[in-house]
Amino acid sequence: MSRVPGLPLPDAQFESLAFWTGGERGELLIHRCGECGLWLHPPKPVCRRCMSRTVAPQPVSGEGTVYSYTVNRQQWMPDVEVPYVLAVVELAEDPGLRLTTRLTGVDPSDVRIGLPVRVVFEQVEEFWIPLFTTNPTTSETEEGSR
């Protein structure tokens, strides 16, 4: 697949490689402490709570909600279409587990805090960029049921 022109590729370091490549198997991989179970994002080699080094990437459900967002209308890069939504998504696994991402397939005027979303992956060269789109299988009133 060809590279989306104008978009910089992730700077995938050793610890974040799983995050950027798990999408090849349809998995959003987040680091988790093997001792105390704390999810760690961005990935770190040591658990910030118990200092354990038994930290490894594990697949998460890929479901979450919009914690915060902003609509970018400024054409910073000539080949990237505006407007687009930059969002902080809180993953279903843990209320403190959040990642910064871009929403896709969503009208910016429909985005709101608490919107249920799920991960989708956009392949760019060897990376599988985790983006999020609306999740029609859940609603805020049915939280926790699937």
Q: Which residues bind Zn ion (CB under 5 A)?
A: 33, 35-36, 38, 47, 49-50, 52
E strand segments, the chain = 28-33, 39-40, 55-60, 63-72, 84-91, 98-103, 116-124, 127-134
User: Which residues contact residue 144 at a Cβ distance below 8 angstroms, ignoring those fewer than 6 apart?
Assistant: none
Min dist CB 35 to Zn ion, Å, is 5
In the complex with Zn ion, the residue whose CB is nearer, 33 or 119, is 33
Min dist CB 72 to Zn ion, Å, is 35
Is residue 52 a contact partner of residue 36, using CB atoms and an 8 Å limit? yes
In the complex with Zn ion, the residue whose CB is nearer, 25 or 49, is 49
Is residue 84 a contact partner of residue 72, using CB atoms and an 8 Å limit? yes
In the complex with Zn ion, the residue whose CB is nearer, 46 or 86, is 46
Type of residue found at 96: G
Min dist CB 19 to Zn ion, Å, is 18
In the complex with Zn ion, the residue whose CB is nearer, 56 or 77, is 56
Min dist CB 16 to Zn ion, Å, is 19
